[in-house]
């Protein structure tokens, strides 16, 4: 009898884990359902330091395109992961709905951000990629095709694995 109770508890644990996994997958699918896919929309814009940034400049190598906002708590939490990946991987970030270029530049300076930041004050660039929540991160392969899209927190390891797959 005790063996059956133990087996039942084991099955309950497995069932609970499967339910959590199904909910996680469903939420992720819901969050990413409308995001841009396929060939990445091309853009060129000045970064907050006045340098022209064009997505086409990264053809031939994978790039991380990260949409964020200065007022977003999750964006601040993931910032160190983006910085770590940017140490040896091309990263372009887009600060959406975050104020003036001066304000975004000040934020970048205060937070030690050195990779290109495009100021998307009106949110127009985010709309081109169908971004509706921050942070949203795209991994674009060497041909300019979106290989991965993630909404919310993502780890450094997760980004590096996605970049590795994009380089294949």
Third-level CATH fold of 35-167: Glutaredoxin (3.40.30)
> For the whole model, what pTM was predicted?
0.85
pLDDT of residue 95: 98
Between CA 32 and CA 71 the distance in angstroms is 21
pLDDT of residue 53: 96
Across-strand partners of 120?
96
Across-strand partners of 106?
none
pLDDT, averaged per 10 consecutive residues of the chain (168 residues), comes to: 62 79 67 84 95 94 97 96 95 96 95 93 96 96 96 96 93
């Amino acid at each position: 009898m005790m063996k059956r109770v133990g087996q039942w508890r084991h099955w309950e644990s497995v069932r609970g884990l499967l339910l959590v996994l199904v909910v996680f997958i469903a939420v992720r699918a819901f969050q990413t359902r409308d995001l841009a896919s396929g060939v990445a929309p091309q853009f060129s814009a000045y970064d907050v330091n006045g340098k022209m940034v064009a997505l086409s400049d990264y053809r031939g190598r994978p790039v991380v395109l990260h949409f964020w906002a200065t007022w977003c708590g999750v964006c601040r939490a993931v910032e160190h992961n983006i910085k770590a990946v940017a140490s040896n991987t091309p990263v372009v970030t887009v600060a959406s709905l975050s104020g003036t270029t001066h304000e975004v530049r000040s934020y970048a300076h205060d937070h030690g951000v050195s990779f290109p930041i495009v100021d998307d004050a009106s949110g127009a660039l985010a709309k081109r990629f169908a971004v509706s929540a921050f942070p949203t991160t795209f991994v674009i392969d060497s041909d300019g095709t979106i290989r991965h899209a993630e909404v919310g927190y993502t780890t450094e390891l997760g980004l590096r694995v996605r970049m590795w797959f994009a380089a294949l």
